[in-house]
Structure 1
Amino acid sequence: MERDVASMSRFAFLILAVVNAVLNLLGYQTISEQFVNDVVAILSGVYFIWAGWKNNYLSKKGIKQKEVLKKHKLH
């Protein structure tokens, strides 16, 4: 069975987030809010740029897709 790296990394971050939340509930400051806000801002920016690239006809593949849509009068 092949391991999916993306799934494993998401699961690892989930575990870290849960441990951090539990420790914060118990009164231990593990990760500062400023650091969390900075990471969220950076990841959000990267995700928005990626989504904009994937959901527009900017790449070679996207340009070909747009041509097919025009050919079949779907765009």
Structure 2
Amino acid sequence: MKNFDKGTVVRTVLLFIALINQTLMMFGKGALPISEDQVNTLADTLYLVGSTVFTIITSIVAWYKNNYVTEKGKKQKEVLKQNGLTK
């Protein structure tokens, strides 16, 4: 997952809003009353949440892969120790 710039997030949010509005109009419903400020606030929030989730997931994966937390990892560490390849 790449970090998206604010413009990409805003365009994506606007696309989904346009699709929702179009679908509502097809079924005879009114369009969504959304202001530009609300779109920007939503885009900022989605960007922040997405970045936070990405950071959390990549941090957990990096921690898991760089530590000997599984049985296989503990065995690997022991072999490394026996061969003088680790502290």
On whether the aligned pair clears a TM of 0.5, the verdict is yes
**Cα pair distance change 1:71/1:34, threshold 3 Å:** same
Query: Rg larger in 1 or in 2?
Result: 2
Alignment RMSD: 2.7
CA deviation string 1:38-66 (max 9, x = no partner): 11101210110111011111111110110
Residue 68 of structure 1, aligned match among 67, 71, 79 = 79
Letter in 1 for 2:81: K
CA deviation string 1:18-44 (max 9, x = no partner): 9x63x75xxx96361111111110121
1:35-50 map, 5 Å: 35-50=46-61
In the alignment, structure 2 segments of 5+ residues that lack a partner are 15-41
Percentage of pairs with the same residue: 29
Q: What is the aligned residue count?
A: 56
The separation in 1 between residues aligned to 2:50 and 2:13, in whole angstroms, is 17
- Give the structure-2-normalised TM-score: 0.51
In the alignment, structure 1 segments of 5+ residues that lack a partner are 1-9
- Give the structure-1-normalised TM-score: 0.58
Moved over 3 A (4+): none
